Amino acid sequence: MPASLAALALAAFGIGTTEFVILGLLSNVASDLAVSIPVAGWLVTGYALAVAIGAPAMAIATAKLPRKQALVGLMGIFIVGNVLCAVATGYSMLMLARVVTALCHGAFFGIGAVVASGLVAEDKRASAVALMFTGLTLANVLGVPLGTALGQAWGWRATFWAVALIGVVALAALVLLLPREAVQQKTDLRRELCVFRERGVWMALGMTVFSSGSMFAMFTYIAPILGEVTGLSPHAISGTLLVIGVGLTIGNVVGGRLADWKLMPTLVGLFIAMAAVQLIFTGAAHSTIGAEIAVFAWAMIAFAAVPALQIGVVTQAHEAPNLASTLNIGAFNVGNALGAWAGGRMILAGAPLNFVPLAGALLAIGGLTLALFALNRRPARTFGPSTAQ
């Protein structure tokens, strides 16, 4: 794998950290800005909505730029957004700064995935995308805990200054390491917009929504499930979240290699495994050992699908991949919201907490249905060169 992928992974680490570290700093932010915890929570929702809405807009806005220039410009926006977060004098300014930061998120991952897949041989494309997304998984394992600790010790603004510094280092790495000739291609906007006519692109985006929804139906409520059903202490829950982070990282790498081997059969198998492990967890949640094993397996399976889903949509829109790849990042965020809503509906309906993963299992079955339909299609364009193997 070329060293330039490390620059993309470092940028992904910074972006992932700034997205999720706010979760550990909500109480600090709410206290400092004199708002309630639920109001501070809108900083999370606002970011996600800005990613979903801003991703295609930024992809179109950067369409006439060479991909390297687009990535460098997007990282510049990321740095500015985090600096604005650090100096925000009130809640409204912080929300605006979060939105500015989020604007770079979807387009960077979308264009970055196209660039990563173009830096390697065709049979290594999913692994290259997985390596870039390793930065995102490491953000959950290292960036969020360290950023939270820094914010609690030195104030939440210090965390955003630190993330801005990561952005500066990532920008320098992109400038120095990304080969200009490999990412010089500009985007034909008219061709990019034609992806909306491709049924295969919409199927790939639908699988992403179902996959992410399946993951977040359980992930959103994992702490109360572990606390109230499994009986773990807050300290033990923190340890389990670290276990989940390790599972996400391993799954990302393994999923990339499986997708390079056989793309669509991999997705079919992963959707089946997603549904199965969440069904098992409804019973295993009552046992500490069973719960730990189940959440580790669930984390690996859930994130193993990410590189396959990303390379799948790039394959479907291979003549104009930038917009489709960026839309897929928005689809992940739509799935996040769908999963959180579905799990919440289970709770509001009076289901026991350990039954919440059933919502994730049902969403996985929805993804499986789409994957099976895609696997059995016989159009001129398939879901990748490995589909029929």
Quote the pTM value.
0.74
pLDDT in tens, 115-145: 887 777 777 777 787 788 788 878 877 887 8
**Over the stretch 10-20, which tens digit does the pLDDT of each residue have?**
999 999 899 87
Per-residue pLDDT tens digits for 211-257: 989 998 888 788 788 888 999 887 788 788 788 888 888 888 888 88
Q: Are 171 and 15 in contact (CB under 8 A)?
A: no
pLDDT score, position 388: 35
Encoding tokens for residue 187?
A: 């985007």
Amino acid at 284: A
What's the pLDDT tens digit per position in 50-107? 887 887 788 778 777 788 888 999 999 999 999 999 999 899 999 999 999 988 888 8
Residue at token pair 């603004």: 157
Task: Report yes or no: 21 and 142 within 8 Å, Cβ to Cβ.
Answer: no
Q: Which residue ranges form the domains of the chain, and what is each CATH number?
A: 4-187 (1.20.1250.20), 192-375 (1.20.1250.20)
Q: What is the CA radius of gyration of the chain?
A: 20
